Structure 1
Amino acid sequence: MSLARRMESEQHEVGSATHQRRVIVAADGRGWSVRFEGSHQLGRYSNVTQAIHRGRRLARQHKPAGLVVRYLDGEEEEAWYGEREDP
C-alpha cells in the first residue's frame, strides 16, 4: 500500500465519529514521539512542550480523542477532547 493511500485510509478511520482514538506522546530516551495508539509514529520532537502541543492539536482535530503523555519514569497523564463515548 502506498504511503498516500495508507494516510488517506487513516484519515478516514480517524475522522469517523464512531471511533475514539488516543494520541500517545511518549519519551523514549531520544526525544518525544507522537502517534495514534496502535499506529506508526507521526513525529519526533526534542522537548515535551512541542510534542504535547502537537498531540493536543491532533486530539482536537479528531474528537472524541484522548491525549496520553507517557514519561520515562512510568508516570502517565491523560486528557480528553470531545464527548467520551461509553464502550
Structure 2
Amino acid sequence: MSLAIRKESEQREVAAAPGQRWVIVAVDGRGWYVRLEGSRHLDRYPNVTQAIHRGRKLAHQHKPAGLVVRYLDGVEEESWFGDGEGP
C-alpha cells in the first residue's frame, strides 16, 4: 500500500463522528492486514478471506464501526456495523 493511500486513510479516520471507528483491511507487501483505527497493532493474514473475516469480527466488537476493504485494483468496499446508517 502506498504512503498516499495510508495518509488518505488516516484523514478518513479522523473525520469519523465521535464514538464511530473504522476497521481497515488492505494488502501490502507482506500479505493482508487488519487494523482498528487508533491502534498501531496489525493482524496479518495470508489471504483476503481470512482478513475480511477478522475485520468483520473486530467491527462487531467495536460497534458502531465501519469496515473498509481495499483491494489491489483500487476498489474499496465499505460495510457498517451498529445502529442506524453509517457516517
TM over 0.5: yes
Tell me if 1:63 matches 2:45.
Answer: no
How many residues of Structure 1 are paired with residues of Structure 2 in the alignment? 70
Consecutive unaligned residues of structure 2, counting only runs of 5 or more, are 1-17
Deviation for aligned residue 1:74? 1.2
Match of 1:32 in 2: 32
Task: Report the TM-score when normalising by structure 2.
Answer: 0.70
CA distance in 1, matches of 2:83, 2:52: 20
SS of the aligned residue for 1:19 comes to: coil
Is residue 29–residue 72 contact of structure 1 (8 Å, CA) maintained in 2?
no
**Comparing 43-52 and 30-39, the one that deviates more:** 30-39
Tell me the amino acid that sits aligned with residue 45 of structure 2: Y
Q: Does the aligned pair in 1 maintain the 2:35–2:43 contact within 8 Å?
A: yes
CA deviation vs aligned residue, 1:33-67 (integer Å, no higher than 9, x gap): 10013431330000001100100000001100001
TM-score after normalising by structure 1:
0.70
Q: Deviations over 1:1-31 (max 9, x none)?
A: xxxxxxxxxxxxxxxxx51000000011321
